[in-house]
């Protein structure tokens, strides 16, 4: 249901019979989310959804999305685990019946091109991610680890390069005190 294209009539059918579903979606099938995730991460989102008619007898979808993502910290570019519960509720409207008088209700107008629910819900996740997402605390950032890795990987050249690196370690040691 999530992956296929649905038209207003389909949404109406599912909602009239009150459909619920639970699905775990691999991050690799979500192009916009995988763009901002760590390349080789096995992220996913779990979507629970109920399709039912709202007070205006239009289809609506609501539920929660639990994310299990490895995003890229905008400060250190290291992996940042982002687990969040997103509560959502979206009403649909048939575009041809859109009178423009629903000012106070947030809804999505469905035209003859239909809609893919997964795209919609991916958008809900994207809009919940802070613009410049980063580790909560600079001490959680990867800079120190990266430097450590760099030093370890340079061990083979230690003899030649030992001195500049030990100087650097000294400087960093002073900074952190
Ligand atoms: Zn960071």
What's the pLDDT tens digit per position in 19-62? 999 999 999 999 999 999 998 778 999 999 999 999 999 999 99
pLDDT at position 139: 84
**Neighbour-count burial for 38-60, b at 16+ CB within 10 Å, e otherwise:** beebebbbebebebebbeeebbb
Q: Do 25 and 124 contact (CB within 8 A), yes or no? A: no
Question: What's the pTM?
Answer: 0.75
Q: Do 122 and 65 contact (CB within 8 A), yes or no? A: no
57 alpha carbon, distance to own chain's centre = 31
- pLDDT above 70 for 95: yes
Provide the mean pLDDT of the chain.
84
| Cα 38 to ligand 1 centre (Å) | 13
- pLDDT above 50 for 159: no
Tell me the pLDDT band of 138, cut-offs 50, 70 and 90: confident
| Cα 132 to ligand 1 centre (Å) | 11
| Cα 169 to ligand 1 centre (Å) | 21
Q: Do 62 and 49 contact (CB within 8 A), yes or no? A: yes
- Residue from 23, 10, 8, 19 nearest 51 by CA: 19
pLDDT at position 49: 97
Domain boundaries along the sequence of the chain = 5-128, 142-176
| Cα 143 to ligand 1 centre (Å) | 8
pLDDT at position 161: 47
| Cα 136 to ligand 1 centre (Å) | 8
pLDDT at position 177: 46
Say how far apart CA 127 and CA 67 lie, in whole Å. Answer: 13
| Cα 146 to ligand 1 centre (Å) | 11
Percent of the chain with pLDDT over 90: 61
Say how far apart CA 131 and CA 150 lie, in whole Å. Answer: 29
| Cα 135 to ligand 1 centre (Å) | 4
pLDDT at position 171: 57
- pLDDT above 90 for 9: yes
Q: Do 37 and 72 contact (CB within 8 A), yes or no? A: yes
């Amino acid at each position: 249901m999530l992956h296929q294209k649905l038209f207003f009539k389909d949404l109406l059918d599912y909602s009239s019979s009150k459909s619920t579903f639970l699905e775990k979606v691999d991050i690799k099938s979500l192009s916009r989310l995988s763009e901002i995730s760590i390349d080789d991460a096995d992220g996913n989102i779990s979507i629970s959804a109920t399709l039912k008619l709202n007070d205006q007898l239009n289809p609506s979808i609501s539920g929660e999305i639990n994310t299990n993502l490895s995003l890229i910290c905008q400060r250190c570019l290291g992996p940042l685990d982002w687990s969040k519960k997103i509560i959502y509720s979206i009403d649909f409207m048939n575009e041809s019946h859109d009178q423009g008088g629903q000012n106070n209700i947030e809804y999505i107008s469905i035209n003859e091109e239909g809609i893919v629910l997964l795209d919609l819900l991916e958008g809900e996740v994207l809009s919940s991610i802070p613009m410049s997402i980063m580790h909560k605390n600079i001490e959680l950032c990867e800079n120190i680890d990266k430097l450590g890795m760099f030093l370890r990987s340079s061990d083979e050249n230690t003899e030649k390069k030992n001195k500049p690196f030990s100087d650097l370690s000294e400087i960093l040691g002073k900074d952190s005190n």
